[in-house]
Amino acid sequence: MQIDWFTVIAQVINFLILVCLLKRFLYKPVLKAIADREARINKQLAEAAASKAAAEGEYLLYKERNVEFDAEREKALEKVAIDMEKEKQQLLLQAQKESQTLRIKLQNDLKAEQHNILNEVKQRIQQTVLGIANKTLADLGNTNLETQIVSIFIQRLKHLNETEAHQLIQAIQPGGNLVVETAYNLNEEQKKQLENTIREMTGVHPVFQYEIDKSLISGITLKMKDYKLSWNTTDYLNDLQKHMNFNDVADKYWGNEQ
């Protein structure tokens, strides 16, 4: 068999041309497409990795913020609890002060009421005793109580001790007003007896000024500037009150009421 070299060479040339054509128009575009796709894949992987890293960073930041928020919340709750405790203590203290103030006020009101009642009882006793005494004196001696009181007061003036007499003399000034307080109007004879007694004792002629003081019940008071000399049945009734222990009785009564 004879080889046709022309044909062989032509086929080789055709093969080389085909290889060149394949390399130029098929292999390079395919390699380029593969490289481009690989590049896109690598880019996507990088972007995914970056996104993952960013997500992890956001997660860590969120977690850290949650921890800070929890800490701030606990701190705020603790502060609220402390403030509430302080407010409670202040309210309790205020309530205690108000309760103490109210208790003191009630005690003072009670004492004032007791004092008023005792005064009323004392006034009634005075009026009753004086009424009985006045009637008794009138029945026995045909002399009323007022006349006896003036006579007794004059006798007391005459029997003042040395110190009391000196104070009386020093207090009464010539031409000065000497106030005479009584629970009733003195008649002219009573005024004359009283004025003569004072002039004889002091050697001074003051201006006598007569006034009515119903609180005396029955008695006489001399007043001039800072000087005061008095005698009335209230003094005796005060002694009677002490012996009868009105205050102790009242304390016992209201103590039981409480």
- 253 in a structural domain: yes
Number of domains forming the structure of the chain: 2
Q: Could you tell me if residue 110 is inside a domain?
A: no
Domain span at residue 39 reads: 1-103
Give a yes or no: residue 123 inside a domain: no
Residue 166 and residue 252 in one domain: yes
- State pTM to two decimals: 0.41
Clarify whether residues 93 and 164 are in a common domain.
no
Residue 227 has what DSSP assignment? E
DSSP 3-state assignment of 215? helix
| DSSP codes, 105-167 | HHHHHHHHHHHHHHHHHHHHHHHHHHHHHHHHHHHHHS--HHHHHHHHHHHHHHT--HHHHHH
How much is the average pLDDT of 233-255? 53
Judge whether 116 lies within some domain: no
Q: What is the pLDDT of residue 218?
A: 65
Of the pLDDT bands very low, low, confident and very high (cuts 50, 70, 90), residue 134 is: low
Tens of pLDDT along 202-224?
888 889 999 988 776 667 888 88
pLDDT of residue 142: 43
By percentage, how much of the chain surpasses pLDDT 70? 79
103-133 residue pLDDT tens:
898 888 888 888 888 777 777 776 676 666 5
Handedness of CA 57, 58, 59, 60 (dihedral sign): positive
Q: Are residues 171 and 74 in the same domain?
A: no
Q: Which residues of 114-124 are buried (b: 16+ CB within 10 A; e: fewer)?
A: beeeeeeebee
Q: Residue 154 belongs to a domain with what CATH number? A: 3.30.2320
**Local structure of residue 177 (DSSP, 8 states):** E
CA distance 170 to 156: 18
Taking each helix axis from N to C end, the angle separating 28-141 and 233-244, rounded to the nearest 10 degrees, works out to 120
The pLDDT tens digits of the residues spanning 42-88 come to: 888 888 888 888 888 888 888 888 888 888 888 888 888 888 888 88
In a domain, 170, yes or no: yes
